[in-house]
Homo-oligomer: A and B are copies of this chain.
Amino acid sequence: MFTDATTEEIHAVMGSAWKAFHVYRKCSLRQRAGFMRAIAKEIENLGDELLRIAGEETHLPEARLRNERARTMYQLTSYADACERGEWMEIRIDTAVPEKNPPKPDIRKMLVPLGPVVVFGAANFPFAYSTAGGDTATAFAAGCPVIVKAHPAHARTSELVASAIVKAAVNCYMPAGIFSHIHGASFEVGKALVEHPHTKAVGFTGSFAGGKQLFDWANQRKEPIPVFAEMSSINPVFLLAGKMKSAAAEVAKQYAGSITLGAGQFCTNPGLIIGIDNDDLQIFIAAISDEIKKMNPGDMLNPGIFKNYVERRANALSQEEVEMVAVSVAAPVTNQGLPTIASAPAPAFINNPLLHQEVFGPYSLIIRCKDINEMIDVAKHIEGQLTATLMATDDDVRNNDDLVEAVKDICGRFIMNGVPTGVEVCLGMQHGGPFPSTTDARFTSVGADAIRRFARPIAFQNWSNELLPDELKNENPLGIWRTVNDTPQSPKGGI
Contacts and interface: CB of A to CB of B under 8 A. Distances in A.
A421 B383 CA distance: 44
Nearest to A85: B486
A428 B471 CA distance: 14
A22 B380 CA distance: 13
A240 to B, nearest CB: 13
Interface string A455-476: 1111111111011000000000
A458 B105 contact: no
Contact of A427 (B87, B94, B215): B94
A442 B144 CA distance: 15
A415 B112 contact: no
Contacts of A408: 112, 458
Contact of A405 (B22, B435, B490): B22
A128 B322 CA distance: 55
A94 B461 CA distance: 36
A129 interface: no
Contacts of A104: 424, 426
A417 B457 contact: no
11 contacts: A90-B449, A102-B422, A108-B428, A109-B429, A216-B219, A223-B384, A412-B457, A417-B462, A418-B461, A430-B457, A430-B459
Contacts of A411: 458
Given A224-B439, A427-B486, A435-B224, A413 B458 contact: yes
Contacts of A216: 219
A484 to B, nearest CB: 9
A305 to B, nearest CB: 25
Top 10 nearest A-B pairs (CB, nearest first) are A430-B459, A94-B428, A107-B428, A441-B456, A94-B426, A415-B461, A92-B427, A413-B459, A92-B428, A219-B219
Given A394-B467, A429-B459, 19 more contacts: A22-B405, A87-B483, A87-B488, A92-B449, A94-B429, A105-B424, A107-B426, A107-B429, A108-B428, A109-B429, A219-B219, A223-B384, A224-B435, A398-B467, A412-B459, A415-B462, A430-B459, A442-B452, A488-B488
A interface majority secondary structure: mixed
Contacts of A460: 414, 416
A32 to B, nearest CB: 17
A339 interface: no
A397 interface: yes
Interface residues of A, number: 74
A226 interface: yes
A30 to B, nearest CB: 18
Contacts of A457: 412, 430, 432, 442, 444, 449
A265 B94 CA distance: 27
Contacts of A418: 105, 461-462
A441 B112 CA distance: 11
Contact of A413 (B412, B416, B461): B461
Given A405-B22, A430-B457, A462 B94 contact: no
A306 interface: no
A457 B446 CA distance: 12
Contact of A466 (B394, B447, B463): B394
B428 A93 contact: yes
A430 B458 contact: yes
